[in-house]
Amino acid sequence: MKTKLWIGAALVAATLSTSAQAEPTYFIGVAYTFGGEFGVTGKILTDDEQDSFSASVGATYYPYAYEKFGVDLGGTYAFDKIALGAGFDFVKNAPVISAGYADTK
């Protein structure tokens, strides 16, 4: 049990240290789960460079769903002020895709 805890802590520390070197940015857009639900999403991207991949963490509001909110983790490709993402929503327990505005350089 302690070994798993230390491995998890090391992975989190490695992720945070690489994220601190990049300049994070925000993403606002729409999301679609493979359960058939549409929502409005906001995400934090680990890098603000255009034409690059980055990790993302976000929250989504699904106005027409039974469970109104979702939290996802995934990856995003940023273009010039536009980003496309894919990930997994842990509240909905479903894959999610998203598209929208990202403040890129």
Average pLDDT rounded to a whole number, residues 20-32: 87
pLDDT at residue 4, rounded to an integer = 47
Q: Where does the chain have alpha helices with state H?
A: 2-21
**DSSP secondary structure code for residue 6 in this structure:** H
Average pLDDT rounded to a whole number, residues 34-47: 93
Confidence label for 35 from pLDDT (cuts 50, 70 and 90) = confident
Q: What is the mean pLDDT of the chain?
A: 86
pLDDT at residue 8, rounded to an integer = 54
Which tokens hold the place of 3? Answer: 């070994």
Residue 85 pLDDT greater than 60, yes or no: yes
From 95, 20, 23, 33, select the one nearest 64 (Cα to Cα): 33
Q: Rounded to whole angstroms, what are the CA distances from 18 to 46, 82, 93, 99, 103?
A: 9, 23, 27, 24, 20
Average pLDDT rounded to a whole number, residues 30-56: 93
Residue 55 pLDDT greater than 60, yes or no: yes
Residue 17 pLDDT greater than 70, yes or no: no
CB atoms within 10 A of CB 51: 9
Residues 6+ away with beta carbon under 8 Å from 56: 27, 43, 44, 45, 46, 72, 73, 74, 75, 76, 85, 87
